[in-house]
Structure 1
Amino acid sequence: MTEYLRIDLDAEQWECRVCDHVIGSAGKSYKEGMLVHNRDPREIHPPIIDPEKYRFTFSPDPEWVRILEYYCPHCGTQVETEYAVPGHPPLHDMEPDLPALRAQWARREEVKEAVVGPAVTADKGHGH
Structure 2
Amino acid sequence: MTEYLRIDLDKEQWECRVCNHVVGPATRSYKEGMLVHNRDPREIHPPIIDPEKYRFTFSPDPEWVRILEYYCPCCGTQVETEYAIPGHPPLHDMQPDLPALKAQWATREEVKEAVVGPAVTAGDGHGH
Question: Is TM (by shorter chain) over 0.5?
Answer: yes
Residue deviations 1:76-97, cap 9 Å, x none?
A: 0000000000000000000000
Residue deviations 1:75-123, cap 9 Å, x none?
A: 0000000000000000000000000000001111111223333334344
Q: Corresponding residue for 2:26?
A: 26
| C-alpha contact (below 8 Å) 1:45/1:60 kept by paired residues | yes
User: Given the superposition, is the C-alpha separation of residues 117 and 55 from structure 1 closer, same or farther in structure 2, using an over 3 Å criterion?
Assistant: same
| C-alpha contact (below 8 Å) 1:120/1:126 kept by paired residues | no
User: Given the superposition, is the C-alpha separation of residues 39 and 102 from structure 1 closer, same or farther in structure 2, using an over 3 Å criterion?
Assistant: same
SS at match of 1:63: coil
Find out whether 1:36 has 2:29 as its counterpart.
no
CA distance in 2, matches of 1:116, 1:4: 13
User: Given the superposition, is the C-alpha separation of residues 120 and 87 from structure 1 closer, same or farther in structure 2, using an over 3 Å criterion?
Assistant: closer
Identify unmatched segments of 5+ residues in structure 2: none
Q: Corresponding residue for 2:56?
A: 56
Instruction: Give the drift of 1:126.
Output: 1.6
User: Given the superposition, is the C-alpha separation of residues 122 and 64 from structure 1 closer, same or farther in structure 2, using an over 3 Å criterion?
Assistant: closer
Q: Percent identity?
A: 87
CA distance in 1, matches of 2:126, 2:22: 45
CA distance in 1, matches of 2:88, 2:66: 10
Aligned-partner residue type, residue 63 of structure 1: E
Aligned-partner residue type, residue 15 of structure 1: E
User: Given the superposition, is the C-alpha separation of residues 63 and 120 from structure 1 closer, same or farther in structure 2, using an over 3 Å criterion?
Assistant: closer
Residues 104-115 of structure 1: matches in 2 within 5 Å? Answer: 104-115=104-115
Q: Corresponding residue for 1:126?
A: 125
Q: CA RMSD in A?
A: 1.2
CA distance in 2, matches of 1:107, 1:65: 45
Aligned length: 127
User: Given the superposition, is the C-alpha separation of residues 104 and 43 from structure 1 closer, same or farther in structure 2, using an over 3 Å criterion?
Assistant: same
